[in-house]
Amino acid sequence: MPSSLCEALTNSSISFDYQKEDDWITSGKLGSREAVLVFRTNILNPKIRKTLSEKSSAQVLTDTKDNEEEKPVQSPQKLAEKEPTSSEPSSKEALSGSTQQKIFLLKKPQQCDKLDKLTFSSPFKKILNRYSSSDTSISSEGEEPASSSENKSRVLKTSQNTINIKLAADLSIESGYESIAPAKTISNTEVIEEDQEETSEDDAECGINMPASKLKITYKFHQTETKLLRKLFNVHGLTEVQGENNNFNLLWTGVHMKLDIVRNLAPYQRVNHFPRSYEMTRKDRLYKNIERMQHLRGMKHFDIVPQTFVLPIESRDLVVAHNKHRGPWIVKPAASSRGRGIFIVNSPDQIPQDEQAVVSKYIVDPLCIDGHKCDLRVYVLVTSFDPLIIYLYEEGIVRLATVKYDRHADNLWNPCMHLCNYSINKYHSDYIRSSDAQDEDVGHKWTLSALLRHLKLQSCDTRQLMLNIEDLIIKAVLACAQSIISACRMFVPNGNNCFELYGFDILIDNALKPWLLEINLSPSMGVDSPLDTKVKSCLMADLLTCVGIPAYSPEMRSHFDQKWSRFRSTSCLRQATFPSTSQKTKKSKKKGAVINLNLTGEEQRILRNARLQYSRRGGFVRIFPTDDSMQRYGNFLDSANGIPISTPNVQSQTFQTPIIQHNYNQMLHQNLYSKDGRQKQDDNSEADRIWQYERALETDSEIPFVKKPTVEKCEVEGRRLRKIMLKKISNGSELTPFQARQTFSMYLESVLRRLTEDPKDNHEKIILKFLNKFGGSVKPPVMFRNMQTIKVASKARSAMVAKLLGDFLENYKRDTEAYVDSFDHFGMIPSSAYNQFLMHAQESDLEAVLTLHTNVTGIMPFLYNRCGLSVPPTPPIPSGLHGFLRALPSMVSSTGINRELSKYDGYFKNFDKEKVFL
């Protein structure tokens, strides 16, 4: 009996070419409730797209469908036997799936022998499952990567690594899997730089051939970084909807969602957040939730975060704690990220009284690589809170501080020694950015697997470390889950609507104990290096395949919508759908379902989804449930309903009747890990998981950069256009606020570039003074506000100033987007001529225009609107190079000016009226 969805498809008047959708659709036949899209990174690279169908080494996938997790993956050799030998299909054919050929992973020839033994003959052969994002048999032959760092000789690299890994790999062949694991299947991804064009025509052409395009599958972005994701969506044929249109299949937001949107989700719609997940991602909430578990379940079980206080409320508690165990303490603004505003103090009395902050015990003995402090970013996917299903991505990113670690108190001000944020360290002139995706242990950004191999070579117990990291993740989720589950019950109409990827920041101390620092909502998908791109694009493709974007046609969707609105009008509470005995029997007859007469319809759906999702997990490692999860964490779950309980007294209020008692965690665990061997998922054991974390990224594939064509600046042309602009301004033309802001931000960008390349003590002071007066979120941290306290001029200090200026610029540019010149105004400089000038202008050209404009008009449209009470008088600008920069601090209203700083304000003292530049 076909499902209602199949009927909808059959009745459809539109006929789709679904002939070979198997490459891009999985988990069920098209038209079935379970069919979802497959995402792969290999087609991000146009060259690979072309060669996919040409290479004879492409592999044929076995069609597994419903029970695929139980079928073993075939070895490359076996698969190769099946490939067609003649009449090579065109790339379009391959992509539209009109040939029998399918894409499968094949290792590089030189790796094959070892990997075959390891991968396909070992008990862990199924780990390289067919839906790994990087399935590809072709190595890319891209353009040269971006110029390599001249600092390469100073690279932070474990020089013995390569040799040792080879040795270890040899050993592992003899002794089984225990030693160093072989390469992960992440390879051949196109590197997308921050400023790169988002979508090429080629991408769009590729997308047109995809089932998602024919199915009219849509996505919507809301306040989020979109480059990498947009590219992934476009090449896979999804189309964007904008504005108020909520007819999306996938909503991807960078912020928490409006409950209204969540409430009205149809069963085929997916959103990338759970309601109330701020319980995990807000620093103060996270600490409070974990602290509650420490009280409830015992400190020894939840000792996963450094002791933390929320100021100003807990100021007294902080002092008491400090008197017991002296500092240092790390002070973080309550709502901030990327290291903004963080500073370290020796004692609480160094923290300003009014500071609204989260203060944590500073971990003074961090794990260091080659003397540099490091921390971890790992990616955690939660696909459901009840039952709890948590995956950890096999690859993570290790961030290193640029300056060698020294715990002496004199260095506490130095952010490039104590903080590992890329956004801080990237401005340090010693920061090494690896320019090759193969370099996993080079420079100040490593992969997690490279760190594990590095530690293993030093005889560290990496197995225990990863188990502790898994444990930390599970406990953090358990501590926050209760409130999220009750929100899901209230607002989420369908069990599969929400999923969420969290960025866990973890610090490892030198006893190899992991500490949770924070959990990031919408972890950054910005890509600043080939390594970053490789990891993040694979992560994203695997995530989308794993969570499953339903492959429904518009007809199927509208059918569902009608049905759904009827259902919604009666109730939106999932738990209210408690099936009768007759329902149980009916449901269990569904084709392909694993029949278990003891399960309700909802339970069968949950079980089936969990299995299908697991079969699509790609590089994700399921860490909950596992075979021993009930044994380890069962105590933290309510014995009746399986909910992780952190506030027993609230429980009765939150989970009142008419909710029907169920225990999905218990049910899922029992069914996945029962002694009945047929259903046992044996490739998720502790050993398998550790093996997967330690596998290296494939190391010998070239990764092409695709660069946005940049217009070469012409100095002579810049000077010529500058003269024209100066003349226009002298004759009374004015810049529009938009033009003025564009000029100012380009000018500051040039200053920033100069600061990082050639730090100038003097200019750092001016900038700091300007930012300090400007205030807001880029206000320098307390310890750093007075440059005079930091005596030694250093690269780290320059980096700090540059970071602050970078943050200012980011906000400033975002604000500038609101100023648009839709047409040329009378008396203003025509926008086309001005854009031409900006295209070629150098720092001195921009400065000359800003100076003259300010002196002639007496206004500062780059900082203030024309009038307003808080607009300070416009100061005259001195002539000469950097005169504008010197005047900059005095252009900002002096309310709140740091008194101490004003006495160093040399600008007014040295100002020579005669030299005003006109």
Site residue total, ligand ADP (CB under 6 A): 21
3-state DSSP assignment of residue 211:
helix
Binding region for ligand ADP (CB under 6 A) out of 47-55, 133-141, 419-427, 638-646 = 419-427
Closest distance of CB 467 from ligand ADP, Å: 22
Question: What contacts 167, CB < 8 A, 6 or more positions away?
Answer: none
Binding region for ligand ADP (CB under 6 A) out of 169-177, 385-393, 417-425, 722-730 = 417-425
Binding region for ligand ADP (CB under 6 A) out of 135-143, 216-224, 413-421, 739-747 = 413-421
Query: What are the tokens at 758?
Result: 């050639």
Closest distance of CB 333 from ligand ADP, Å: 8
Binding region for ligand ADP (CB under 6 A) out of 336-344, 439-447, 584-592, 764-772 = 336-344
- What is each CA distance from 481 to 156, 207, 830, in whole angstroms? 40, 38, 57
Q: Are 695 and 184 in contact (CB under 8 A)?
A: yes
Residue 828: CB atoms within 10 A of its CB come to 17
**CB-wise, 419 or 829, nearer to ligand ADP?**
419
**CB-wise, 334 or 839, nearer to ligand ADP?**
334
**Residue 520 region by backbone torsions, left for phi larger than 0, else alpha for psi between -120 and 50, else beta:** beta
- Give the separation between CA 446 and CA 449, rounded to whole angstroms: 8
**CB-wise, 340 or 454, nearer to ligand ADP?**
340
CA dihedral 145, 147, 149, 150 (to 10 degrees): 140
**CB-wise, 518 or 734, nearer to ligand ADP?**
518
Q: According to CB under 6 A, which one of 25, 183, 357, 363 is a site residue for ligand ADP? A: 363
Q: According to CB under 6 A, which one of 135, 375, 500, 845 is a site residue for ligand ADP? A: 375
Closest distance of CB 807 from ligand ADP, Å: 11
367 binds ligand ADP (CB under 6 A): no
Site pattern 84..103 for ligand ADP (x: CB under 6 A): --------------------
Beta strands 620-624; 514-521: pairing state: unpaired
759 binds ligand ADP (CB under 6 A): no
Q: Are 689 and 809 in contact (CB under 8 A)?
A: no
Cis before 709? omega within 30: no
In 3D, which of 188, 185, 75 has the Cα closest to residue 617?
185
Residue type, 525: M
Closest distance of CB 678 from ligand ADP, Å: 45
Closest distance of CB 330 from ligand ADP, Å: 5
337 binds ligand ADP (CB under 6 A): yes
**CB-wise, 327 or 704, nearer to ligand ADP?**
327
Closest distance of CB 328 from ligand ADP, Å: 9
Q: According to CB under 6 A, which one of 233, 248, 362, 552 is a site residue for ligand ADP? A: 362
**CB-wise, 32 or 360, nearer to ligand ADP?**
360
Cα Rg, the chain, nearest whole Å: 29
Closest distance of CB 339 from ligand ADP, Å: 5
Question: What contacts 606, CB < 8 A, 6 or more positions away?
Answer: 384, 387, 495, 664, 667, 668
5 binds ligand ADP (CB under 6 A): no
Question: What contacts 445, CB < 8 A, 6 or more positions away?
Answer: 397, 398, 399, 400, 422, 433, 434, 529, 531, 532
Strand order in the sheet with 239-240: 239-240, 218-222, 250-253, 270-271
Query: What are the tokens at 909?
Result: 């003292």
Binding region for ligand ADP (CB under 6 A) out of 174-182, 254-262, 378-386, 415-423 = 415-423
**CB-wise, 72 or 371, nearer to ligand ADP?**
371
Helices (H) and strands (E) in the chain, counts: 34, 20
- Give the separation between CA 577 and CA 580, rounded to whole angstroms: 9
The conformation of residue 154, written as its DSSP 8-state character, comes to G
Closest distance of CB 343 from ligand ADP, Å: 10
Binders of ligand ADP in range 287-306 (CB under 6 A): 306
**CB-wise, 184 or 340, nearer to ligand ADP?**
340
Query: What are the tokens at 691?
Result: 């093996």
In 3D, which of 127, 141, 106 has the Cα closest to residue 177?
127
**CB-wise, 71 or 338, nearer to ligand ADP?**
338
Using the CB atoms, write b or e for 322-344: b if 16+ within 10 Å: beeeebbbbbbbeeebbbbbbbb
372 binds ligand ADP (CB under 6 A): no
**CB-wise, 422 or 738, nearer to ligand ADP?**
422
505 binds ligand ADP (CB under 6 A): yes
**CB-wise, 363 or 802, nearer to ligand ADP?**
363
Closest distance of CB 415 from ligand ADP, Å: 8
**CB-wise, 66 or 375, nearer to ligand ADP?**
375
Residues in the chain: 918
Beta strands 191-192; 705-706: pairing state: parallel
- Give the separation between CA 658 and CA 576, rounded to whole angstroms: 8
Closest distance of CB 363 from ligand ADP, Å: 4
**CB-wise, 338 or 590, nearer to ligand ADP?**
338
651 binds ligand ADP (CB under 6 A): no
Closest distance of CB 392 from ligand ADP, Å: 18
284 binds ligand ADP (CB under 6 A): no
- Give the separation between CA 227 and CA 420, rounded to whole angstroms: 24
780 binds ligand ADP (CB under 6 A): no
338 binds ligand ADP (CB under 6 A): yes
Closest distance of CB 664 from ligand ADP, Å: 33
- In the numeric block, the tokens 């979120």 are attached to 777
**CB-wise, 334 or 572, nearer to ligand ADP?**
334
**CB-wise, 340 or 763, nearer to ligand ADP?**
340
843-857 and 883-891 helices, crossing angle to 10°:
50
Q: According to CB under 6 A, which one of 57, 148, 247, 336 is a site residue for ligand ADP? A: 336
Closest distance of CB 36 from ligand ADP, Å: 33
- In the numeric block, the tokens 């109730």 are attached to 571
Query: What are the tokens at 480?
Result: 């926050």
- In the numeric block, the tokens 């569904």 are attached to 590
Q: What are phi and psi of 14, to 5 degrees?
A: -85, 135
**CB-wise, 363 or 610, nearer to ligand ADP?**
363
Q: Are 332 and 357 in contact (CB under 8 A)?
A: yes
In 3D, which of 38, 4, 22 has the Cα closest to residue 546?
38
Cis before 415? omega within 30: no
Q: According to CB under 6 A, which one of 58, 181, 262, 419 is a site residue for ligand ADP? A: 419
Binders of ligand ADP in range 311-330 (CB under 6 A): 330
3-state DSSP assignment of residue 101:
coil
360 binds ligand ADP (CB under 6 A): yes
Q: According to CB under 6 A, which one of 182, 339, 530, 759 is a site residue for ligand ADP? A: 339
421 binds ligand ADP (CB under 6 A): yes
Site pattern 506..545 for ligand ADP (x: CB under 6 A): -x---------xx---------------------------
- In the numeric block, the tokens 């290296």 are attached to 696
Closest distance of CB 287 from ligand ADP, Å: 11
Residues near ligand ADP (CB under 6 A) are: 306, 330, 332, 336-340, 342, 360-363, 375, 419-421, 505, 507, 517-518
